[in-house]
Chains A and B, each alone.
Chain A
Amino acid sequence: MLKSVIKMEFEPKLVGFLCKWCSSAGADLAGVSRRSYPSNLVPITVNCSGRIDVSHVIRAFRDGADGVLVSGCHPGDCHYTSGNYKAWRRVALLKHVLEDFGMNPDRVKLEWISATEGDKFAQTVKEFTKEIKELGPGPYSNVKERE
């Protein structure tokens, strides 16, 4: 059944690491205001975007994700003051690592989404899903493997 779905349209698998104080609350607001977006992204809420390191994102790719979103509070607004700056640096580093491995760095996206930005959350997922659809399956995509 999956096979036929892929032939119709590639439906990427995306993971979203959302910090609990801003971005996950923003995603909740998107829900409360019924801003619909594609269901490709599965959220994982963490305390702070600073909790996410390179290995977690790589793990997601190894497990078959086609794209990974890391989202935290806007600079200066992190609940723990500065975790998002660390996430910022780590994602920048990660993009280089991905390039070294021959992967497109655009498969990772870092976005600042506050608790009041439900629209921005919905829009971000929409755009990210579209971008990854255009890029096609990732190197370890379990969508592709099944083809």
Chain B
Amino acid sequence: MASKPRIGVFICHCGENIAGTVDVTGLAERIIDYDDVTFSTDYEYMCSDPGQNKIKEAIEEEDLNGVIVAACSPSMHEETFRSAVEEAGLNRYRCEIANIREQCSWVHDGDGSKPTEKALRIIKGAVEKVKRNIPMEPVEREHSDKCLVIGGGVAGIQAALDVAEAGNEVVLVEKEPTIGGHMAQLSETFPTLDCSQCILTPKMVEVNQHPNIELMAYSEVKDVSGYIGNYSVQIENKPTYVDPDACNLCGDCEDVCPVNVQDEFNQGLTSRKAISIPFAQAIPSSYTLDEEACLGLNPLRCSKCADVCDADAVDFDQSSKFIEEEFGAIIVATGYDLYPKEKMGEYGYGQYEDVIDGLQFERLLSATGPTRGEVRRPSDGKVPKDVVFVQCSGSRDPENHNSYCSKICCMYTAKHAKLYKESVPDGNAYVFYIDIRAGGKDYEEFIQEVQEEDRVLYLKGKVSKLKKVDGKLRVWGMDEIAGERMEIDADLVVLAQSIIPSSEAKDTSRKLNLNLGQNGFYKEAHPKLRPVESLTGGVFFAGAGQGPKDIPDTVSQGSGAAAKAIEMLSKPTLTHDPQVVEVDEDLCSGCGLCISQCPYDALEVNSRGVAEVNEILCEGCGTCASGCPTNALSLKNLTDEQLTEMIHAQIGD
């Protein structure tokens, strides 16, 4: 404090809540003798309008430059009193609260004079703090209004649409030739069984047509620098060798292309050509030439597709485009993958053609899939009459696979069994499960229906082994309820493979400096209270990349992340709590120890060899200040000097 401290202490009775236990009048009389306290009073309810007016008047009349309100917890009225002193012309940090209710009067009732003595100590500590508080104003920064969305699954689609609707420009980056993600591969969706593509494709079209959305498919984020509000991002747009504006989807190129490769969209159940489109309603609506599969982009080598294209859309001369843009916020929606069947030793390491995973079964069920929605097994195209579904394959098995629950497999397995029974009414469906987890809205009813009306046989127990015996897939399992071992000879086995984070998550987390949890999913800023924010300011999460999720949860989180981004982008400038760390350059030896202490990457050793704080990134925990060997760092308004004097005031006599 530049001028000599003149502190006023205002002691609240809180009716009888404080005054019934603490001698408030006595306190006011005693504290006036304490160093730098020039005014003190007590009043029935300090938080009331008359109470606040007393503070404002005293600031003026007594020329106070610091205020202590000894009352309830700062979580109740700190804001009230700080606003009041601000109205009287003082900086808000000239006011501190001494908590003498929750942490004193309410817990020491009937202790005679002890609570009064304790309250006095608490107040003295607060006086020592407030007289050393510096005035602070929120730190302000300009920011970009644009939002980057990484990943074009349903999470990224929802987020992009919401942000765009709010009036902000969005760039949506998708690594595949089309947006839609896994939802585009699904047949029908639990629990209502609406057709997945029918509800998804209108949203995909909307993304494509929205004036505020720039869709960059077949693209990749190469590099990210900067911080909240001001991220500078480099994006690579890979060549598709087809001009999307010219391509009219006739498909002639596909017919003449001589190269067959595994079709990713159909989960390898069929093949596609080197020039192809993932599915008819793909967005962007255009063919893509797979550079690696193509016989050679040299017209002398093949060039069949270019020759046959009436629209002249094929262009072998395309090359990668690099775009550099500024973004205020980034939404990460990179989604999930399935735990590979090849890792399931107990189920044949993925070597049996008729042991498939959940997504492959979705493609078999899908009207646009390789069998046009008829359930036919991959090996010989026969309709399977005995189908075994294995839940928790790779989940909830800490010894061999993943320890966590993948959350959605109970539901999609029930859906699979139901759709199978509808397709093959005389077939038998068996489901092996550990528990049924159906916590969503209308989910339990769905399971009941599958078990009772669709007559799917649910067997509680694990499948220990699976092997090919006499042309059938023999499944060894346990029926714990009957207490019997089971052996089923199946025509088809569907493994509900564990949901794992997208293979891209590691790379993305490195580029954006995000944390991954122990299972590799993105780690949110707070598991309960900040579930869509990352610890990196201005970066938000949506969808299954943050943890296994079904579509309703994914879409909610997409909207949640969008709301957070919009909240941030709609502010004219970004403000930040000014209680951050500052560096005393004379003391700093440039050792850099603080850098590793900071959870927010807010510190660096600058070109002059001293620590520098990025005030936008610093959250003000003060951990670095306590770890600094030369005491060069101090947390504003909770400096070592303040702490020392508070300790002295509260403990010393």
Interface of A toward B, CB cutoff 8 Å? 13, 15, 24-25, 27-32, 34-37, 39, 42-48, 50-53, 55-56, 59-60, 63-65, 79-83, 86, 90, 122, 142
A50 x B622 contact (CB < 8 A): yes
Q: A42-B122, A86-B597, A86-B627 are in contact. Are A34 and B117 (CB under 8 A)?
A: no
Minimum CB–CB distance from A23 to chain B (whole Å) comes to 11
Residues of B with C-beta under 8 A to A30: 102, 107
Q: In the complex, what residues of B have CB within 8 A of residue A36's CB?
A: 107-110
Among A42, A47, A81, A142, point to the contact of B121 (Cβ < 8 A). A42
State whether the Cβ of B293 lies closer than 8 Å to any Cβ in chain A: no
Q: Which of A35, A45, A52, A55 contacts B107, CB < 8 Å? A: A35
Decide yes or no: A80 and B651 within 8 Å by CB, A31-B107, A32-B106, A122-B107 being known contacts.
Answer: no
Contact A34 B106 (CB under 8 A): yes
With A47-B620, A53-B627, A55-B640 known as contacts, the answer to whether A39 contacts B104 (CB < 8 A) is yes
Task: Verify A39–B621 contact, CB threshold 8 A.
Answer: no
The residues of A that contact B99 with a CB separation of less than 8 Å are: 28, 43, 45
71-111 of chain B: CB within 8 A of chain A: 73-75, 99, 101-104, 106-111
Q: Give Cα A79 to B527, complex, Å.
A: 11
Q: A28-B103, A32-B102, A42-B118 are in contact. Are A59 and B647 (CB under 8 A)?
A: yes
In the complex, the answer to whether B651 meets A15 with C-beta atoms within 8 Å is yes
B320: CB under 8 A from chain A?
no
Complex partner residue of A90 from B110, B600, B626, CB under 8 angstroms:
B626
Whole-angstrom CA separation of A39 from B113 in the bound complex: 10
On chain A, the residues within 8 Å of B75 by CB distance are 25, 28
Q: Is B644 an interface residue (CB 8 A)?
A: yes
Alpha-carbon distance A142/B101, docked complex (angstroms): 27
Determine whether B157 belongs to the interface, using a CB cutoff of 8 Å to chain A: no
The CA-CA distance from A51 to B645 in the complex, in Å, is 16
CB distance from B168 to the nearest CB of A (A): 29
Docked Cα-Cα span, A60 to B648, in Å, equals 7
The contact sample of 21 A-B pairs, CB cut-off 8 A, is: A25-B75, A27-B103, A28-B75, A30-B107, A31-B102, A31-B107, A32-B106, A35-B107, A39-B111, A45-B99, A47-B638, A51-B621, A55-B640, A56-B647, A59-B643, A59-B648, A63-B648, A80-B600, A80-B623, A83-B623, A90-B626
Instruction: Kindly identify which residue among B73, B109, B648, B651 contacts A28, using a CB–CB cutoff of 8 Å.
Output: B73
Chain B residues with CB under 8 Å of A43's CB are 99, 103, 122
CB pair B101 A31 closer than 8 Å: yes
| A63 near B623: Cβ-Cβ < 8 Å | no
Which residue of chain A has the shortest Cβ distance to B622 in the bound complex? A51
Cβ of A50: which chain B residues have Cβ within 8 Å of it? 621-623, 626
Q: In the bound complex, what is the Cα–Cα distance between A57 and B635 (angstroms)? A: 17
A25-B75, A43-B103, A50-B626 are known contacts. Are A80 and B647 too (CB-CB below 8 A)?
A: no
Report the bound CA distance from A63 to B650 in whole Å.
9
Asked, given contacts A15-B650, A36-B109, whether A56 binds B643 with beta carbons under 8 Å apart, the answer is yes
When the two chains form their complex, are residues A31 and B597 in contact, meaning their CB atoms are under 8 A apart?
no
B125–A51 CB distance below 8 A: no
Chain A residues within an 8 Å CB radius of B106: 31-32, 34
The answer to whether A81 and B535 touch across the interface, beta carbons within 8 angstroms, is yes
**B533 → chain A, closest Cβ, in Å?**
12
The distance in angstroms between the C-alpha atoms of A15 and B648, with both chains bound, is: 10
Specify which of B107, B622, B644 lies most central, judged by the most chain A CB atoms within 10 Å of its CB.
Answer: B107
Nearest residue (CB) in A for B624 is: A50
| Smallest CB separation, B509 vs chain A (Å) | 15
CB-CB under 8 A for A44 and B102, given A51-B638, A86-B627? no
* Number of cross-chain contacts by CB at 8 Å: 131
**Cα–Cα, bound, A50→B74 (Å):** 21
Q: Is B646 at the interface (CB under 8 A from chain A)?
A: yes
B653 within 8 A of A: yes
Q: Tell me, in angstroms, the Cα distance from A81 to B599 when the chains sit together.
A: 7
Q: What is the CB-to-nearest-CB distance from B420 to chain A, in angstroms, rounded to a whole number? A: 42
B6 at the binding interface (Cβ < 8 Å): no
Give the complex CA separation of A37 and B99 in angstroms: 16
By the criterion CB–CB under 8 Å, are B102 and A56 in contact? no
Contacts A53-B627, A86-B597, A142-B652 given: A48-B647 contact, CB under 8 Å?
Answer: no
Q: How far is the CB of B561 from chain A (nearest CB, A)?
A: 20
User: Counting CB contacts under 8 A, is B619 at the interface?
Assistant: yes
Q: Would you list which residues of chain B between 576 and 592 have a CB under 8 Å from chain A?
A: 579
Specify which chain B residues have a CB less than 8 angstroms from the CB of A65 in the assembled complex: 647, 651
Are B638 and A46 in contact, with the CB atoms below 8 A?
A: yes
Task: Contacts A15-B650, A44-B125, A55-B640 given; indicate if A39 touches B118 (C-beta within 8 A).
Answer: yes
Candidates A42, A55, A79, A83; contact of B651 at CB < 8 Å? A42
**Is there an interface contact between A27 and B102, defined as CB atoms closer than 8 Å?**
yes
Residues of B within 8 A of A39 (CB): 104, 107-108, 111, 114-115, 117-118
Contact call B102/A34, Cβ cutoff below 8 A: no
Q: How far is the CA of A31 from the CA of B22 in the complex (A)?
A: 14
Residues of A near B359 (CB, < 8 A) are: none
Q: Are B125 and A56 in contact (CB under 8 A)?
A: no
- Docked pose: A90 CA to B109 CA in angstroms: 35
Within the complex, which residue of B115, B515, B622 is in contact with A46, where a contact is CB–CB below 8 Å?
B622
CB contacts (< 8 Å) of B597 on chain A: these are 86
Residues from chain B with Cβ under 8 Å of A34 in the complex: 106-107, 109
Complex formed: what's the CA distance from A60 to B646 in Å? 10
* 8 Å CB contact of A44 from B110, B118, B627, B643: B643
Asked whether A44 lies within 8 Å of B650 as measured between CB atoms, the reply is yes
B625: Cβ under 8 A from any A Cβ: yes
Cross-chain contact A47 with B635 (CB below 8 angstroms): yes
With a CB–CB cut-off of 8 A, which chain B residues contact A25? 75
Within 8 A of A (CB), among B29-54: none
A56 CB contacts on chain B under 8 angstroms: 626, 640, 643-644, 647
Nearest residue, chain B, Cβ from A76: B527
Is B647 in contact with A15, judged by CB distance below 8 angstroms? Answer: yes
CB neighbours (8 Å) of B651 from chain A are 13, 15, 42, 60, 63-65, 142
**Inter-chain contacts of A37 with B (CB < 8 A):** 107-108
Residue on B with the closest CB to A41?
Answer: B118
A100 to B111 Cα, complex, angstroms = 38
Look across to chain A and name the residue whose beta carbon is closest to the beta carbon of B620: A47
Is A46 a contact of B648 with CB atoms below 8 Å?
no
Q: How far is the CA of A55 from the CA of B620 in the complex (A)?
A: 20
